[in-house]
Chain A
Amino acid sequence: MTGTDLTALSAPVGGEPSAGGGLWRTLGQTFTANRLAVLGVGLIVGIALFCFLGPLVYHTDQVYTNLAAASLPPSAAHPLGTDHLGYDELGRLMAGGQSSLEVGLAAAVMASAVGVLWGALAGYVGGVLDTVMMRIVDVVLSIPVLFMLLFIATIIPPTLGTMIAIIALFAWLIPARLVRGEVLSLRSREYVQAVRVMGGGGGRIVLRHLIPNAIGVIVVQATFAVADSILIFAVLSYLGFGLSAPAASWGEMLSSGTAYLYDGYWWQIYPPGVAILLIVLAFNFVGDALRDALDVRLRQR
């Protein structure tokens, strides 16, 4: 087996379908008992509100430039100053957050969906198909992600859709591997055998039984994937391969702020960086807590 299966080894192993409510209640209690998790959820909700509802309260023009008001320091009119195009930095932070959250969530969901189906199929069917499918995962997983993304980004026009797609292109591999491991271990369980004996079809077994049982692992993985996708999106934008103007993103805000490091425009460097840090931190908190909660469940069993 290849070395990277270590990730699968360290992941929690799913259990049998249990009597619904009890499980979720335990999960919920463990989760809320974790103060970092609460903080994480609070941050995510707060940032989402800030980005999506903020513009309804705090009106700024994020489409039309105002070169006469470029790079102004913070003032009453612009609490966080303006950037090199004269956009209000606070309003831009909201707009940039929208794209960061959208890309992060969409890429994670897309990658998880593809990864889950891929892994479940490989694990359930097994044999040659499994070998081929997992070798493909091995190969793609060996390519340094940033190299590949940078390369693709120099060729494909950057839109929200393509950004999501190319980030997801490299994020489905780990879920695929995890789910395959889960399915392999579940496949031999009695209830799956029972369904099979009762004449349940393969697709039905995968969809109705195997995937729901692996859901814990998938959710934990997807939560971390959101954090990773937001980071990668920021890096790509920072390197100049992000969305087109006038679309905003936190990485792009930092990228244009970099040009003025020596001019002391601190308001162009700190806010977007802190924003990225907070949102990534929040998803990591939640992911950690979910993992712990699942571990606890296993321990209690």
Chain B
Amino acid sequence: MALALAPVLLAPVLLAAAMLVAACSGARSSFPASGATLSQGRTVTIAEAPGASPNYIFPITPTQQYTVYTINEFQYLMYRPLYYAPKGDQPVIDDTLSLAQEPIYSQHNTVVTINMKTTYQWSDGEPVDARDVVFFLNLLKAAVKESPANYGNYTPGEIPDNLASYTATGKYQLTLTLKRSVNPQWFTADQLQLLSPLPLTWDKTSATGSPGDDDLTAAGAKQVYDFLAGQAANLATYATNPLWQVVDGPWRLTSYSTTGQLSMTANPHYGGPYRPTIASLEELPFTSEAAEFSAIRAGAIDVGYVPADDFPQLRAVRRGGYQVFAVPQFFIGYVIINFNNPATGPIFKQLYIRQALQHLVDQPAIIHAVYSGYGIPAYGPVPVGPPNPYASVLEQQGTYRYSPSAARQLLSSHGWSVIPGGVDTCLRPGTAPDECGAGIAAGTRLEFRLDYATAIQQIETQVSAMKSDASRAGIQLDLRGEPFNTVLAQDNACTPDQSACSWQLSDFGGIQFGTYPTGDGLFATGGALNAGSYHDPTADKLIDATLYGSDPNALTAYEDYLARQVPVIYQPDPDYVAAVKSTLATDGTFSALTQGNLQPERWHFTS
């Protein structure tokens, strides 16, 4: 599954700004002539996320460097993926910017035919064709065989493991044969989106070697991969190494400092839509969010963002000559529930308990206090914002909204003494509908330990509020702050007999989805991200259908079920707020910036 980890809650909403601006699909862009002339010779400056400067240039990016900043805001400018996403601020494929037509599925969705556009070429004059994608897949296979950590988006059993074969069946045609039939919606948005043609001039095993077909054997592919990965480990040469100058995107790297400061210039050979009118761009590193925000206050950068702590300052930012775009991230925040904890696991397995816990999260209050109102409540496994075709009606309505009385009602009707401000105990053990449930002894207390990542103020405020609200129904949350990495390290699937299974509830933030909000990693039995060991055969079946079924409504069935089942405690989805100088305009939408979609080729200065 394609997703970028959001270790820290990224930033928070102007719902109005989240309205879509339709991209002029298919058509080549044409700027107002005045914009083009005004922009001539100008450089646009863009803020990087603090401590997250792009630091890997080769598109087969290892796990530790796999961030939206490195992939979308750096590599995509130079090396275009076969299928480009997001589209504006929407988490879907952008057909206009993709290097291929929509894929054609045949043979019961086991064969995929991809027809590539013929207008793209590498800056060395070679066309971007099907062979380049084969080259990519050969190297990807070699990379993940060497180490699964060599590719940040590798999931065992998925790309490239699920391909029985891949061949260039024409200069611009690629045919993939799959090991099993897939759900086309998932396969295109989540799997094909990972493919990225690579120039054949990289097909060599040493700097002095001549490009050939080294990648065609497994051993050769490994050598080529090792050579390129080795080159990519040398940051100081990013702008000077001739390898990296061969690009098919609208931009080419002209300088790169190891601190992350970099500049790019327009690539005159770019064959796609929206050719740059701005001469060059510069990305600037910042040591902290505060530093970046100071630069905004000083008007020192053209494009940046407003950190969540500074949302109260948005008016001042606007007065300072910036346009502000706030859109929720394609993100779900949640508290993980450890279903295998020997003590509390049986309690968590009761649906009514989870429903009560969800009823006790006052999302509107959290959004107000933590994000100054810039965020949206979330009650299910698919983010409702930004506007996307995946979120169901039920998710938008919300399942278990904040209601201490509903929570109290659920608990008392299942045999608990409800003592608001105190600790509830089980009065009626047993498995009847009005009893506590299996594995819960009489006198069991409703008290849980909640571990959370300290040093992230938003999380701390959130869990503090949860603790208060939970006590309104007599559920005692015992907060325990721990270093972020400790929380992350403990969030592992475990069995009740293991000492590592002593954690009960855990909040490390949440995760950010790529383009398709699947639950295979999160909630499927044995999923890589299923830290709480959630296990439900119905959920497994529904998730499987979203990946391998043919029903286009599979995703809705899955998300509605899991919104009702509450496998984790859902938390609000904060906005990401982008700030853009008022003198800058685009023919697309600046709210794309909120989703890490950097398209400076579409910008121009208006004064």
Residues of A within 8 A of B483 (CB): 153-155, 157, 241
Docked-complex contact B366 and A67, CB < 8 angstroms: yes
A256 to B457, CA, bound (A): 7
Residues of A within 8 A of B460 (CB): 245
Docked-complex contact A67 and B463, CB < 8 angstroms: no
A193 to B310, CA, bound (A): 70
Asked if B464 is at the interface (CB within 8 A of a chain A CB), the reply is yes
A152 nearest CB across to chain B (Å): 10
Among B448-495, those with CB < 8 Å from A are: 452, 454-455, 457, 460-461, 463-465, 467-468, 471, 479-483, 485-486
Asked if A65 is at the interface (CB within 8 A of a chain B CB), the reply is yes
A162 nearest CB across to chain B (Å): 11
Asked if A84 is at the interface (CB within 8 A of a chain B CB), the reply is yes
Contacting A243 at CB < 8 Å: which of B369, B464, B481?
A: B481
Docked-complex contact A84 and B468, CB < 8 angstroms: no
Docked-complex contact A245 and B482, CB < 8 angstroms: no
Asked if B368 is at the interface (CB within 8 A of a chain A CB), the reply is yes
Asked if B365 is at the interface (CB within 8 A of a chain A CB), the reply is yes
Among A210-238, those with CB < 8 Å from B are: none
Docked-complex contact B481 and A245, CB < 8 angstroms: yes
Among B5-31, those with CB < 8 Å from A are: none
A252 nearest CB across to chain B (Å): 9
A-contact bits for B361-372, CB 8 A (1 contact / 0 none):
010011011100
Asked if A58 is at the interface (CB within 8 A of a chain B CB), the reply is no
Asked if B552 is at the interface (CB within 8 A of a chain A CB), the reply is no
Given A64-B468, A67-B369, A246-B467, the answer on whether A154 and B485 have CB atoms closer than 8 Å is yes
Q: Which residue of B lies closest to A159 (CB)?
A: B480
Contacting B454 at CB < 8 Å: which of A65, A158, A260?
A: A158
Residues of B within 8 A of A240 (CB): 454-455
Residues of A within 8 A of B481 (CB): 157-158, 243-245
Asked if B258 is at the interface (CB within 8 A of a chain A CB), the reply is no
Given A64-B471, A240-B455, A262-B313, the answer on whether A245 and B365 have CB atoms closer than 8 Å is no
Asked if B268 is at the interface (CB within 8 A of a chain A CB), the reply is no
Q: Which residue of B lies closest to A265 (CB)?
A: B312
A155 nearest CB across to chain B (Å): 7
Docked-complex contact A84 and B461, CB < 8 angstroms: yes
Contacting A244 at CB < 8 Å: which of B297, B366, B480?
A: B480
Docked-complex contact A245 and B479, CB < 8 angstroms: yes
Residues of B within 8 A of A239 (CB): 455
Docked-complex contact A67 and B465, CB < 8 angstroms: yes
A153 to B467, CA, bound (A): 24
Docked-complex contact B313 and A158, CB < 8 angstroms: no
Given A84-B369, A240-B455, the answer on whether A246 and B482 have CB atoms closer than 8 Å is no
Docked-complex contact B313 and A85, CB < 8 angstroms: no
A279 to B461, CA, bound (A): 28
Asked if A190 is at the interface (CB within 8 A of a chain B CB), the reply is no
Asked if B309 is at the interface (CB within 8 A of a chain A CB), the reply is yes
Docked-complex contact B479 and A70, CB < 8 angstroms: no
Asked if A68 is at the interface (CB within 8 A of a chain B CB), the reply is yes
Given A155-B486, A243-B481, A245-B463, the answer on whether A259 and B454 have CB atoms closer than 8 Å is no
Q: Which residue of B lies closest to A64 (CB)?
A: B468
Asked if A66 is at the interface (CB within 8 A of a chain B CB), the reply is yes
Residues of A within 8 A of B452 (CB): 244-245
Residues of A within 8 A of B479 (CB): 244-246
B-contact bits for A141-180, CB 8 A (1 contact / 0 none):
0000000000001110111000000000000000000000
Residues of B within 8 A of A64 (CB): 467-468, 471
A52 nearest CB across to chain B (Å): 23
Docked-complex contact A85 and B454, CB < 8 angstroms: no
A239 to B483, CA, bound (A): 12
Among A24-74, those with CB < 8 Å from B are: 63-68, 70
A196 nearest CB across to chain B (Å): 51
Interface residues of A (CB under 8 A from B): 63-68, 70, 84-86, 153-155, 157-159, 239-246, 256, 259-260, 262-263
Given A66-B468, A155-B483, 15 other A-B contacts at CB below 8 A? A63-B467, A63-B468, A65-B465, A65-B468, A67-B369, A67-B370, A84-B369, A157-B482, A158-B481, A240-B455, A242-B454, A256-B457, A259-B309, A262-B310, A263-B313
Closest 5 CB pairs of A and B: A240-B455, A244-B481, A67-B369, A64-B468, A259-B309
